[in-house]
Amino acid sequence: MEDKKSNNLIIGCMCALGCEIFFGLSYVFTKQATDSASELSLLGWRFLLAFIVMTILILLGIVKINLKGKPIKNVLLVALFSPVIYFIGETIGISNTTASESGVFLACIPVASLAASTLILHKKPSKIQVIGILITLMGVIVTVLVVGIESSLSIIGYLFLLIAVVSYALYSVFVEKAFDYTGIEITYVMLTAGAIVFTILAIVESSVKGNVNVLISLPIRNSDFLIAILYQGIGCSIIAFFLSNMAIAKIGVNRTSSFIGVSTVVSIISGALLLRESFSIYQIIGAIIIIVGVYVSNTNNIEVS
């Protein structure tokens, strides 16, 4: 029993770490792609590509899923909260606020996940987990505020960022409740929902602007956009979502949430190395605090129920 718990801890932590590395690196690709395309165009193509690739793998028998006879409620709630509501909230929230404001809001996701796990799953976090998550939160806030404290005073932006934070926390909770499904089955339902919703939204946006042909031809005429949707579609939407779902199944919401700050560290490092963005001593301090917080959150191997 102890060996199984130890193995679950190792596998779960590695999955959570891998997931956040994928998400952290996506910053570089998103930055380059959105210079010439809208966020909805990127999301629409990203999830459509991921859905097509995953469906092909299933039809070829490389990936096996079985959705028949399983209760659908919890897995549909997973897909509703993430990717659908989360990405809508994040996209509108970020576009209406400053980088520092959106960074601080999204840094609160681990705290919101911890609260949701306690209230809905009745899983009481250990004191060390609470301390570790709060340390990580401090590190992320220090890191994002380095760019300068600016205020948009956008009520709409704040509201949608809050929606994003809450929806991600609820996604985490319902992944754990959808125990009848494998990680890959949950991922496929998420991709299907994302492909339907964001493809429709991207087409509607392009229709309003009168450039549907531009949307359709984006991957062909824009190499940066093509690279971005390949990375985000396969790397983030398929692999990272699967790793996230697997991590939650193995080590629970609270411990998985403690790794979210890692994506901030990866995005800072990749931005500095690949995009030549500034990299200050304060960002290094923030990154160290985040890593310490993740370590502290995972020093105990048994989550208190």
User: Which tens digit of pLDDT belongs to each residue from 227-239?
Assistant: 999 999 999 999 9
How is residue 244 written in tokens? 């996230």
Q: What is the pLDDT of residue 147?
A: 61
Rounded mean pLDDT of the chain? 89
How is residue 209 written in tokens? 């602007």
Helical ranges in the chain per DSSP H: 2-33, 39-59, 73-79, 86-95, 99-106, 109-116, 127-145, 155-177, 183-209, 212-221, 223-230, 241-257, 261-274, 281-297
Integer Rg of the chain from CA: 19
How is residue 65 written in tokens? 């899923």
Distance between the two ends of the chain, CA-based, in angstroms? 16
Q: Is the pLDDT of residue 217 over 90?
A: yes
CB 219: neighbour CB atoms within 10 A?
17
Distances (CA, A) of 73 to 118, 176, 181, 190: 21, 13, 12, 13
DSSP single-letter state for residue 71: -
How far apart are alpha carbons 143 and 128 in whole angstroms? 23
Residues composing the chain: 305
Determine whether 179 is exposed, middle or buried from the number of CB atoms within 10 Å of its CB (0-12, 13-18, 19+). exposed
How is residue 172 written in tokens? 């985490």
- Min mean pLDDT across 60-69, 100-109, 133-142 is at 100-109
Q: Kindly state the average pLDDT of the residues 195-201.
A: 98
Q: Is the pLDDT of residue 301 over 50?
A: no
Instruction: Give tens-digit pLDDT for 88-130.
Output: 999 898 888 876 677 778 888 989 999 999 999 988 888 888 8
How far apart are alpha carbons 152 and 103 in whole angstroms? 13
Instruction: Give tens-digit pLDDT for 234-284.
Output: 999 999 999 999 999 999 998 898 899 898 888 888 888 887 777 778 878
- Min mean pLDDT across 1-10, 83-92, 182-191, 288-297 is at 1-10
Instruction: Phi first, then psi: give them for residue 201, nearest 5 degrees.
Output: -65, -40
